Structure 1
Amino acid sequence: MTSTRTSEPGLSAAQRWLLVLSCLAVTLVIASMAALYTALPEIAAATGASQRQLTWIVDGYTLTLACLVLPAGALGDRFGRRKVLIGGLIAFSLASAVPLLLDDPVWLIAARAAAGVGAALVMPSTLSLLTAGFPEERRGAAVGLWAGIAGAGAVLGIVGSGLLLAQWSWVSIFLAMTVAGLALTVGAFTVPESVDQDRPALDPLGALTAALAVGLVVIAAIEAPERGWLDPLVLGLFGGGLVAGGLFTLIELRVRNPMLDVRLFADRGFGSGTASITIQFLISFGTFMILVQFLQLILGYAPLTSALAIAPMVVPMVAVSAVAPWLADRIGLRWTTLAGLVILGGAMLVMSRLGTDSSYLQALGPLMIMSTGLGLCTAPATTAIIAGTPEEKHGVAAAVNDAAREVGAAIGIAIMGSLLAAGYSAKIAPALPQLPEAAREPVGDSLAAALQVAERAGPQAQPLADFAKDAFMHGVQQAALVVGCLTLAAAVLVALWAPGRRKEPVAEPVAAEPEPVAAATPGSS
């Protein structure tokens, strides 16, 4: 008996181009979230923006993206994912061009919010086009690469903005985003269309309540570090978000064509994958916020240097993401999720050991550990979310994946920012009564302001600068320790929720056909 082996065909040129375009588009959207981190001091000096306005220049983009990504995914399924991708890229490019002409803080906030609308249309379209354009046996590898690059997008945004600021002003960041968006718009016209053939009716009530639920929770997370987690407004926003979430669930259970069938969360892969993605982005964006300040305020790095110092984390993240789906197929989502989240929690615990005398290499260690954990669990979680939904609903599935990222990022920045601020305030408090009254408020607010006060006061204020740095690192240690412990606990819970290794179907034995019995002939013996 002879056997033949059929080799899987390679990717076509159209599939390779679709993969490249999808990865570039999602990189642009994610990079835009973090691109302004290094430029905020220059924006404040050039536009007169207050600290609160600076917060909303960054978070206005994240807020609209998080609110609208679920309805945007449904629009792609209904009207065509390529159409929605093109529309999103055009909206993103036009909004990014506004600061080239108008630099008032209010206009900047409005432009960033409008860019977030475009980004909400882009993000789910890139993933749903990718999953529709690849056969099932190659889909995992494509999603793995997409997830790895999406995870590294924030780092690329910080590095890219740092390179631009080394040569030009903050306006160059918006110019670069505009040019990149227009170039990708042209490229998007060359990919094939993908659409849900049933073209289900839209779900306006579901879209409204979903946007309210996500929006109120994100606003509460943004306001919590400044107002306090027990502030009535913050509690009211969180409560409103929970009520809106409950209404969304009731609506989706009753309408004929729900935007998101909430029964999907009963699928262990879909539900645990969504939880895992939220935790991953909570940690990564919270860590970026802390590490950028550590590099600039403690080690004294310039914006470009601090951006380049973070860049090495891209390597293990993308490399591990490329093999993580293959690994998850063999050992199961449960074990890749557990290992990845435990590594993330361990990275936070290592970070909690940093001090004012720590070197760059000591800070790079937890960063590289964190990127390895992200690479291990990001792609399998994204693949599980997609695999848990029918193919015609991949736009909404991609939107769930993206909404989990944005909500996680906003909450992570809020939690780690609050813990950092609380630790700094508690440590710096004994020094405030000894300072002139005019210096107490800025020194008590942040390390950056304390260093400015110390610089103006001259060499005799060096003890104040050293004490403020100690207070800052106390806050960093506190934030990293608390988040690390919570991550380890969450790792166990999510792993228990996640499915184990899928069992290969066993083919039932087929009964052999009985051989025909020859009829007896006369005279035979």
Structure 2
Amino acid sequence: MLCLSLVIIMIGNTSLNVALPSLSEQLRATNSQLQWMVDGYSLMFAGLLFGAANFGDRYGRKGILQFGLLLFGGATGYAAFLADGAGQLIAARVVMGAGAAMVMPATLSIITNIFPAEERARAVAIWAGVSGAGAAIGPLLSGLVLEHFEWSAVFAVNLPFVLLALLLGASMVPRSRGEHDSPLDIVGAILSAVALSSIVYAIIEAPSRGWLGSSTMAVGSVGLLAAVTFVLWELHVEHPMLDVRLFRIAGFGISSLILTMTFFALMGMFFSMTQMLQLVWGYSPLEAAVRLLPISAGVMLAAPRSARLAERFGKSRVVAAGMWMVAGGILTASVTRVDSSYLVLITGLFVMALGMGTAMSPTTDLLMSTVPRKQSGMGSAMNDTTRELGGSLGVAVFGSVLASRYVAGLSGAIETFPDRAQEGITGSLAGALRVAGGAPDAPGRALVVAARAAWMDGFRLSMLVAAVVVGAAGLVAWRFLPDTAMDLPLAEDLSADELRWAENISEVGGPGGGVPHPGEAGQGSR
């Protein structure tokens, strides 16, 4: 039942990408609305993850798991049967993200508490495998459904599984809760949500409102101010949602950056690729989903071998090489044109996926090994949050760079169309193709050629920006990422007590070796 709940959440997270062209066509959604359909889910997921995990530990994991499934199922049902516009669908996705934030950490917490120590590693490995399988199944299931039904069926197909998970959970999942009742950090949760949503909002809306427009700058400034306030609050509150002191340890801070950048590239590519395959190259939703399978294959091929490579060459070298492979794969994919062969695209995507698989496992291991045992839940939540935050930023940055270049590239090709038609053309590629379909033959064909060329120009620019960002992350990994939990180039910045605590990680062999973090001694349980 726990694995079923996890599969439901992962399918909900990845299935929408293949449906984006259909949503753009049938709901007349603009580029920014498509971005919000994806990011609304991810942002709510990331913003509530720490608080939901803490709430489950305090009041009961089974209860929050069941409530999360109810919330997710209710929003899914609304999206499937009641939502008839882009705004309503975005709202449903936001609520789905809130439900997912309650379900995902609860499944892992329950597993780690009901299995004995000798079986726990195997159970967690199965949990991780199911998570990856669900992420891979999502696009395929979405493509298969869209071959025969409208976009709403992408949501409806999930409902029977949600109902089954609720019924099985009520009878099969044992009740459990944490040993200590740490108070919820409500202020921290609000500040983090405001910071994330404001920054992403500014990035997504910038192409239509202007990168230096007053609303863009104002909302972006609010996000940055909220982020700074969040850090200051977490440093001084007795029971923080996220102990930001952990970022002073290179193994935690740099690993978090690498994981964020990995999913920045992955989800940004998914957002762009599904539209390119369907709207530029003319593949069906199922054909597009099948052509993206090599990404999952590359990650699954490289990930199991990365630990052995890290032991031989060191984590910093292996992770840096992985990130540079990601950047190289993105650069290879960026040369794709309207008339290019699929082989060119998939070569780049497969190299990118191999790099992701190479980088993710060592960084995840290092992140978790540098967290004190009593804060392992925080480490697990951070591990999940980096993925959702990276994905949100990837969709926002890829989509906004692409949209800005797309609109600029069309400026001289749409002057003969009425103002209302121009709004549809610049709103999205699907809108341009829809206007072209209703135009006279010659202008319509010219618009299709111009719109696809402008979109591909935006695609290439977004790839170049992403390659630079990911390549820079590789340099950071090469320079600062420790090869063990205590090979810390940043150790000189730690206090003597913090340094001694961090050293104990490698000397004793466990997260913190049972030694509390400096500042925890004498405070009792945090």
TM-score by structure 1 length?
0.82
Q: Secondary structure at the match of 1:431?
A: coil
Aligned to 2:232: 250
- CA distance in 2 between counterparts of 1:337 and 1:132 reads 31
Which residue, out of 144, 153, 157, partners 1:163?
144
Change (3 A) 1:206 1:371: same
The superposition leaves residues 299-324 of structure 1 with CA deviations (integer Å, 9 ceiling, x where unpaired) of 11112211221123212212322333
Q: Does 1:201 align with 2:180?
A: no
Contact 2:277 2:283 in 1 (8 A): yes
- CA distance in 1 between counterparts of 2:294 and 2:201 reads 32
Aligned to 1:118: 99
Q: Does 1:297 align with 2:279?
A: yes
User: Please, which moves more after superposition, 114-123 or 149-158?
Assistant: 149-158
- CA distance in 2 between counterparts of 1:195 and 1:386 reads 21
Change (3 A) 1:358 1:170: same
Q: Does 1:339 align with 2:343?
A: no
Pairwise CA distance, 1:375:
1.4
Q: Identity over aligned residues, as a percent? A: 37
- In structure 1, stretches of 5+ residues that fail to align are 1-16, 508-525
Pairwise CA distance, 1:282:
1.0
Pairwise CA distance, 1:364:
1.2
The superposition leaves residues 66-122 of structure 1 with CA deviations (integer Å, 9 ceiling, x where unpaired) of 221121122233334444333322321222122344234354343322211111112
Aligned to 1:371: 353
Pairwise CA distance, 1:262:
1.2
How many residues align? The count is: 487
Q: Does 1:479 align with 2:459?
A: no
User: Matches of residues 86-485 of structure 1 in structure 2 within 5 Å?
Assistant: 86-105=66-85, 107-130=88-111, 150=131, 153-188=134-169, 190-191=172-173, 195-433=177-415, 440-457=422-439, 459-461=441-443, 462-485=445-468
Change (3 A) 1:75 1:324: farther
- CA distance in 1 between counterparts of 2:312 and 2:164 reads 39
Contact 2:366 2:484 in 1 (8 A): no
Which residue, out of 77, 93, 98, partners 2:57?
77
The superposition leaves residues 238-272 of structure 1 with CA deviations (integer Å, 9 ceiling, x where unpaired) of 22222222222222222222222111112222111
Larger Rg: 1
Q: Secondary structure at the match of 2:91?
A: helix
Pairwise CA distance, 1:280:
1.1
Aligned to 1:520: none
User: Please, which moves more after superposition, 79-88 or 185-194?
Assistant: 185-194
State the Cα RMSD in Å.
3.2
- In structure 2, stretches of 5+ residues that fail to align are 487-505, 510-526
Contact 1:141 1:325 in 2 (8 A): no
- CA distance in 2 between counterparts of 1:33 and 1:295 reads 20
Q: Secondary structure at the match of 2:157?
A: helix
Pairwise CA distance, 1:338:
0.9
User: Please, which moves more after superposition, 221-230 or 279-288?
Assistant: 221-230
Change (3 A) 1:485 1:252: closer
Aligned to 1:513: none
Pairwise CA distance, 1:152:
6.4
Change (3 A) 1:73 1:232: farther
User: Please, which moves more after superposition, 281-290 or 426-435?
Assistant: 426-435
Pairwise CA distance, 1:139:
7.1
Change (3 A) 1:339 1:180: farther
- CA distance in 2 between counterparts of 1:284 and 1:195 reads 34
- CA distance in 2 between counterparts of 1:275 and 1:197 reads 31
User: Please, which moves more after superposition, 431-440 or 388-397?
Assistant: 431-440
Change (3 A) 1:206 1:355: same
Aligned to 2:520: none
- CA distance in 2 between counterparts of 1:438 and 1:172 reads 30
The superposition leaves residues 331-363 of structure 1 with CA deviations (integer Å, 9 ceiling, x where unpaired) of 443233212211111111101211122122221
Q: Does 1:61 align with 2:41?
A: yes
Q: Secondary structure at the match of 2:149?
A: coil
Q: Secondary structure at the match of 1:429?
A: coil
Pairwise CA distance, 1:53:
5.4
Contact 1:292 1:306 in 2 (8 A): yes
Change (3 A) 1:310 1:497: same
Change (3 A) 1:384 1:177: farther
- CA distance in 1 between counterparts of 2:217 and 2:419 reads 33
Contact 1:70 1:210 in 2 (8 A): no
TM-score by structure 2 length?
0.82
Change (3 A) 1:229 1:142: farther
- The one-letter code of the counterpart of 1:264 is L
- The one-letter code of the counterpart of 1:163 is L
User: Please, which moves more after superposition, 148-157 or 363-372?
Assistant: 148-157
- CA distance in 2 between counterparts of 1:185 and 1:161 reads 23
Change (3 A) 1:264 1:160: same
Change (3 A) 1:308 1:407: same
- The one-letter code of the counterpart of 1:92 is F
- The one-letter code of the counterpart of 1:160 is L
Pairwise CA distance, 1:187:
4.7
- The one-letter code of the counterpart of 1:156 is I
- CA distance in 2 between counterparts of 1:69 and 1:133 reads 21
- CA distance in 1 between counterparts of 2:369 and 2:117 reads 10
User: Please, which moves more after superposition, 250-259 or 185-194?
Assistant: 185-194
- The one-letter code of the counterpart of 1:495 is W
Contact 1:147 1:379 in 2 (8 A): no
- CA distance in 2 between counterparts of 1:82 and 1:88 reads 10
Contact 2:21 2:274 in 1 (8 A): no
Pairwise CA distance, 1:284:
0.9
Contact 1:269 1:333 in 2 (8 A): no
Contact 1:329 1:502 in 2 (8 A): no
- The one-letter code of the counterpart of 1:472 is W
User: Please, which moves more after superposition, 152-161 or 204-213?
Assistant: 152-161
